Structure 1
């Protein structure tokens, strides 16, 4: 029986990470779980590499061999790791050392418990879709887990974004930009831009204009088996394209983009209590009463 390889990739900017890695190393030493643990610290100045049971490797070596990759950081760390992946059978578990932690939702104090659950088969796979983007003029290709964003690149005036769904014209947006998000990305940038929250199992994309110059331009949800063609026009020298918050470059006016559902999905490891709607209501504090009832002035008559 082959030993499971569990990779650990860290955010090297997190100052509070060494204690967590030491605790994990001690747990492995004390319990001897049936797995080979390997870590890429990205030369973090906050981590001392004198581990007893965890082997230090490059991220490329970990991507090659790992069955499960654990990210220590937050949602951004998990996104950057997913965008580096070349294999899509790898399972992902995100530990939140940051703020919201919506997709990287394992608390640090539950890390070893969740690893034990994984090794004992007490988990489920939450499979998430991605967007594929192709730019024919430059033959540039990339995919996004959360969203692809068209941005006017600091230019003071709006840009023009011509959109077609398959062969049918959708809209000619006059706006600051456009967000095309997966269901996973619907709780990110798109949500802050007034977009809807979409359950991750829905096979759709959200098309959401940024500050459109018309009150009739609202977010549109389309099936993800349809292809989206976008042509961007600007009076400036160029506009920018971002995927999952990372700039992919500046492109000239008239650039054509072709977006569709990626053939590759991402497999998130979740514990039974980490179902989407329970996490959603917890992270967004739904159902909580923030009112200070001591200040109420109602009096019985």
Structure 2
């Protein structure tokens, strides 16, 4: 049997979780599809897929093999396209890790536009907020808002946009606790603090007349920005959030930006991916699209 065909068949079955669907996509019979995978398993001396009458899933070994085989096939497609001066159409599953704050209308509208341009790409988006291992877990790329020194060594990091964070609160909270007129007025205010960065209750904030040391009163800690946003909407305290995550709440008056001309900080949003000479068409087009689409996001 053709080994490359067996690899393609195995990867397609793994993505679609179905021998029948994979066989249909590649134009062969389900029985032949099963033979291709069995040939791989016999050659490797290990089971790659768990099969039941209704379900197909990767074994632990199969998961490792799939991640490597997928990269190999995508790289081969790109090399062949380069030699033949052809363009590979983006297709398949794009496994993406993104910050929790990506679950917003503003960001999803970008995903929708990418989908309209490249309808054959299925977006598999992880918003768990954890730092995934791109290679071991089979992710194509991750979007990470951070500083360069916090990025993993051995990975390629391409800057996409600068994301500004603003201090926000609900009108209810500000009416109850008082609207700060200057940075010094922030002392003692309740803070909903993101625990994913090295910040404490005491922060050095730059005001109109220099830098101030402000002592907040933390009332909630979380690595999930969404729960911090919801807590702010319920009047629990001040919170630092990206404006693109909260633009609808701001427009509707549910949140207000506090001291917008005096307090703000930013992180760069990077597209992070394993170092590979040839990027698959789906990864390359997604990064290029986001680089343009996210400019001026704020």
TM-score under structure 2 length normalisation: 0.28
Flag the structure with more relative contact order, 1 or 2, with Cα contacts below 8 A and sequence separation at least 6: 2
With the length of structure 1 as denominator, give the TM-score of the two structures: 0.28
Report which of the two has the higher share of strand. 1
